[in-house]
A and B are shown apart, each in its own frame.
Chain A
Amino acid sequence: DTAVSQTPKYLVTQMGNDKSIKCEQNLGHDTMYWYKQDSKKFLKIMFSYNNKELIINETVPNRFSPKSPDKAHLNLHINSLELGDSAVYFCASSQDREDGSPLHFGNGTRLTVT
């Protein structure tokens, strides 16, 4: 069973379009994240979300919006796609415990904007 799954794996689209990436976790975790990995492989947090709080990285354009229908899902919606949005987007999850818990990743969605 895949713990954190995201779809699609590849997404090619044109500038100006709106697209969504879906993410689901079956680990029972209460916190989910979206990360962006740029061409230099640097991972940068975009959002973290649990049933209490959405934390948005202030550098993320408001064209990006997370949508969580329930605790096991955190989808990423992107409006008016730009060339610079091309990257690999990773969904992840963890349990929000005081002693900290491991971070589990999906396999990523490679977005190419043409």
Chain B
Amino acid sequence: KQEVTQIPAALSVPEGENLVLNCSFTDSAIYNLQWFRQDPGKGLTSLLLIQSSQREQTSGRLNASLDKSSGRSTLYIAASQPGDSATYLCAVRPYTGNQFYFGTGTSLTVIP
């Protein structure tokens, strides 16, 4: 069974810093990996989707990488801002089954 882990569980950084969030998964047989953002009391907003054939995806200040063989993905946030404060979740879609497996999330606080 696929297990997805995110480290650290919580992260606090001063505004302007670059930071990296980590996601690891146990089974490399995946279609894709998706990063989400969740604000308190809100739903999940998709940030980036990396297909299994891709190594990275970029959107603005966000860059997500995927190393399928090692079961790892990172989300890099450049020049962090207080508005980046949220919980970030990664999810993988395996080849088998019809569902997505979620990580435990990283709660990010960017201090002004």
Which residues of the partner chain A approach B87 to less than 8 Å between Cβ atoms? 41
- In chain B between 48 and 104, which residues have their CB closer than 8 angstroms to a CB of chain A? 49, 51-52, 87, 89, 91, 93, 97-102, 104
Contact between A103 and B43, CB atoms less than 8 A apart = no
The main secondary structure of chain B at its interface with chain A is strand
Whether the Cβ atoms of B46 and A102 lie closer than 8 Å is yes
Interface flags for B28-41 (1: CB within 8 Å of A; 0: not) read: 00111010101001
Q: Residue A66 at the B interface, CB < 8 A?
A: no
Q: Which residues of chain A are within 8 angstroms of B105 by Cβ–Cβ distance? A: 41-42
Interface residues of A in 1-34 (CB under 8 A from B): 31, 33
User: Complex: how many Å from CA A99 to CA B30?
Assistant: 10
- A84 interface hit (Cβ, 8 Å): no
Judge whether A69 is part of the interface by a CB distance below 8 angstroms: no
Q: How far is the CA of A104 from the CA of B104 in the complex (A)?
A: 18
Interface flags, B4-40, vs A, CB<8A=1, else 0: 0000000000000000000000000011101010100
For B100, give the chain A residue with the smallest CB separation.
A103
Task: Please pick, from B31, B32, B45, B89, the residue contacting A43 in the complex, using a CB distance under 8 A.
Answer: B89
Cβ contact within 8 Å between B31 and A42: no
- Contact partners of B89 in chain A: CB under 8 A: 43
Verify B43–A105 contact, CB threshold 8 A: yes
Show the binding face of A for B, using Cβ within 8 Å: 31, 33, 35, 40-45, 48, 50, 53, 55, 90, 92, 94, 96, 98-108, 110
Q: List 6 A-B contacts (CB under 8 A).
A: A44-B102, A45-B100, A99-B51, A103-B100, A105-B36, A105-B45
